[in-house]
Structure 1
Amino acid sequence: MKMVFRWYGEGNDSVTLDQIKQIPGVEGIVWALHDIPTGKEWTMEKILEVKKQADEYGLNIKVVESVNVHEDIKLGLPTRDQYIENYKRTIEKLAKVGVKVICYNFMPVFDWIRTDLHKELEDGSTALFYEKDKVDNMDPMELVEEITKNPDFTMPGWEPERLEHLSNLFDAYQNVTEEDLWNNLQYFLKQIIPVAEINDIKMAIHPDDPPWPVFGLPRIITNKENIKRLLNLVDNPYNCVTLCSGSLGANPDNNVAEMVREFADRIPFAHIRNVKIYENGDFIETSHRITDGSVDIYDIVKAYHENGFTGYARPDHGRHIWGEECRPGYGLYDRALGIMYLWGIWDALVRSEQGGTSC
């Protein structure tokens, strides 16, 4: 297991590369060029700038999250081919600096959705919270209004240009079914995966968060059966999944450890985090500790260890603790604690495998 840490770039992240370097076992950053609009080809100049910054601290840049997929591709519009060509050229450039995994998603309109970015937990920390009834009964335009009037209500992964045209996007998706989305994903993958294979970069789709339809929009990467279908759309070892225990784990019917064991050879990138699910369908993100949430983090890490996982992993989201001011879910302290919890499980498994000898 190779540990990495998501970083939003100088001037955009409260966490510094110097701090990331001091977290035990972290080898690289998970990065993206967030200032380049979705669908545009990434420039070599900006890619090399990130590489230079990471190199100064001995951190690799082998995992990119995300090269976002333009909505025209998800909608299957005639304009998608140009955006796919831009995507191919970006893959080729990223290969030149040693990138090995591109994490992306195929969620219509929104990426991950929460209703409260600073919900207080019993210990006084705050975390990302999802109130199911509120989402089920909310007009999505109300959410945009909230974002517009409250600049603090921002979600990493949401591009401003999408929010500006939200009403038009909802109209565009009005008649798009899950099968349409599957067909459009397959069209995309059939063109992208051969380029990824030539350039030795694994395309790893991120599950939908939460793993069910929201605002009437179709969502398809939601469970074991659908992940299996995804991998069969283009049956190629470069067509992979970013297995996120928090996204999939928000649905208690999903057994994430079982998915790890079934899809181990197609998981180059793992997001390992915990969530606490309430009986009414609400959920909140917690510490990584098993007893704090509803996801069996120990069995998930054990499943990776059993299958000789040599891919990349990150602690994903964290709580906001000790008064830290940071991007919602992306502070330093709790994610660093999460890494140490994951290493603790991993090291114990290694020790056990070696019959009690030193690691």
Structure 2
Amino acid sequence: MQMTFRWYGEGNDSITLKQIRQIPGVKGVVWALHDVPVGEVWTVERIEEVVNQAKAYGLNTEVVESVNIHEDIKLGLPSRDQYIEAYKETLRNLGKFGVKVVCYNFMPVFDWFRTDLFKEMEDGSTALYFDAKKVLSLTPEEVVKNMEENSKDFTLPGWEPERLKDLKRLFDLYKNVSEAELLENLTYFLKEICPVAEENGIKMAIHPDDPPFSIFGLPRIVKNKQDIQNLLNAVDSPSNGLTFCSGSLGGNLNNDLVDIAKTFTSRIPFAHIRNVKHFGDGSFIETSHRVEDGSVPITGIIQALYENGFDGYIRPDHGRHIWDEVCRPGYGLYDRALGVMYLLGAWDTQVLLKEQAGKTLQNV
């Protein structure tokens, strides 16, 4: 297992590479070219620039999150082929610099969704919050306005400005798109790009829907264990994998996260680990990584991954905003650094237990 930390780039993040380098156990940054419009090729020059920045601090750049998917690909429009060809070229360029994993998602129109970006908690910290009642009264346009006005002038990852300016047209296009059709479009995409990913030593790792249920009637196809199985069965390639995100899948209490981690470990090259606390009305808030603070069995997930031979990358996912830190929603330094230590502690415990079990057997 290799611990990583998400970084948004020089001039686009409140956190520096120097600070990340000082978090014990972190070996690499999870990065992207956030200023490149979706559908355009990531050039060798731009990729090399970020790789060299990280290398100067002894950090690798083996995980990219995300190379976003153009909406025409998701919709299965005739124009998708040109965007798929551009995606292939980006993969080839990333492969030249040793990138091993590309995280992506196939969520229509919206990326991750919350109603509150800085919801105050009992201890005075703030966190991302999903208000199940509030979402029923919001229009898509109000969602976008609320997210953008409350982001503290930081960009929102995955929320591409070009598509958010054309919400009505996009919603109209998705009116007759079923989950089965969306999966067909994803399958078409993967059949095209997986051979290129394989040739360049890259594993594609799809991120689950966040939250894992329909928003505003839009189709969702990575919500639960069966969806994941359907996706992995659709394209039989070692490059067709899953980003296991405990926070996204944990948005639905019906998902058995330990079972999902155990079942698909061999197809999980990348994991996001975070905690959420559920309330009785379907609302949830993101908490510290500590098991007792939320509803997600963090240590059980770590145990399942360890026992089933997980050898990929992990990063602490969204954290609270603590100690008066001014940062991108969900992506402060302090709480995620605490998360790193908690996750490493859980992993090291599994290593220790295995060592102790081995010594006991030797003494029998």
Give the TM-score normalised by structure 1: 0.97
Q: Does 1:161 align with 2:179?
A: no
* Distance in 2 separating the partners of 1:5 and 1:146: 27
Q: Which residue of 1 aligns with 2:192?
A: 191
CA offset at residue 150 of structure 1? Answer: 5.4
Check whether the contact 1:351–1:357 (CA below 8 A) recurs between aligned residues. no
Answer whether contact 1:127 1:318 (CA < 8 A) is retained: yes
Partner of 1:318: 319
How many angstroms apart in 2 are the aligned matches of 1:97 and 1:242? 21
The structural deviation recorded for 1:146 is 3.3
Classify the secondary structure of the residue corresponding to 1:52: helix
Q: Distance in 2 between matches of 1:196 and 1:341?
A: 33
CA contact (8 A) 2:306 2:347 kept: yes
Q: The residue matched to 1:3 in structure 2 has which SS?
A: strand
Deviation at 1:109, TM superposition (A): 0.4
- Cα separation, 2, equivalents of 1:278 and 1:172: 34
1:355 maps to: 356
Amino acid across the alignment from 2:273: I
Equivalents in 1 of 2:331, 2:149: separation in Å? Answer: 22
SS of the residue aligned with 1:355? helix
Aligned to 1:50: 50
Cα drift, residue 133 of structure 1: 1.7
1:234 equivalent to 2:230? Answer: no
Amino acid paired to 1:339? V
Contact 2:152 2:328 in 1 (8 A): no
Measure, in 1, the Cα distance between the counterparts of 2:145 and 2:117: 16
TM-fit CA distance, 1:126: 0.4
Runs of 4+ in structure 1 deviating by more than 4 angstroms, as ranges, are 147-151
Q: 3-state SS of the aligned residue for 1:152?
A: coil
SS of 1:229's equivalent in the other structure is helix
Whole-angstrom CA distance in 1 between matches of 2:207 and 2:7: 17
Equivalent residue for 2:144?
Answer: 144
Hey, what does 1:29 align to over in structure 2? 29
Share of identical aligned residues, percent? 64
The residue identity in structure 2 corresponding to 1:193 is C
CA contact (8 A) 2:117 2:151 kept: no
Partner amino acid, structure 2, of 1:332:
L
Distance in 2 separating the partners of 1:147 and 1:251: 22
> Is structure 2 residue 172 aligned with structure 1 residue 174?
no
SS at match of 2:356: coil
Q: Tell me, what secondary structure is at the counterpart of 1:354?
A: helix
The AA in structure 2 aligned to 1:30 is V
Tell me if structure 2 keeps the 8 A contact 1:2–1:313: yes
Q: Provide the alpha-carbon RMSD of the alignment.
A: 1.4
CA contact (8 A) 1:272 1:314 kept: yes
For 1:84 and 1:245, locate their aligned partners in 2 and report how far apart those are by CA, in whole Å.
29
Q: Tell me how far 1:151 sits from its aligned partner.
A: 6.0
Query: What pairs up with 1:256-271 in 2 under 5 angstroms?
Result: 256-271=257-272
CA contact (8 A) 2:5 2:29 kept: yes
CA 1:287–1:152 in 2, change beyond 3 Å: closer, same or farther?
Answer: same
Which amino acid in the other structure matches residue 98 of structure 1? G
Equivalent residue for 1:68? 68
Contact 1:261–1:307 (CA<8 Å) still a contact in 2? yes
Partner of 1:94: 94
Q: 1:281 matched to which residue of 2?
A: 282
Please tell me the residue identity of whatever aligns with 1:80: R
Q: Report the CA distance between 1:335 and its aligned residue.
A: 0.3
Check 1:233–1:355 CA distance in 2 against 1; reply closer, same or farther (3 A cut).
same
Question: 1:147 Cα shift?
Answer: 4.7
| Correspondence for 1:244 | 245
- Give, in whole Å, the separation in 1 of the partners of 2:166 and 2:27: 38
Quote how far apart the aligned CAs of 1:144 are: 2.7
1:18 equivalent in structure 2: 18
Tell whether the 8 Å contact from 2:117 to 2:150 is kept in structure 1 after alignment. Answer: no
Q: Residue type matched to 1:109 in 2?
A: V
1:289-328 map, 5 Å: 289-328=290-329
**Whole-angstrom CA distance in 2 between matches of 1:127 and 1:146:** 15
Q: Please give the alpha-carbon distance, in whole angstroms, between the structure 2 residues aligned to 1:59 and 1:136.
A: 43
Structure 1 residues 148, 273: closer, same or farther in 2, change over 3 A? closer
Unaligned runs of 5+ in 1: none
Contact 2:258 2:300 in 1 (8 A): yes
The one-letter code of the counterpart of 1:11 is: G
Q: Secondary structure at the match of 1:14?
A: coil
1:331 deviation in Å? 0.5
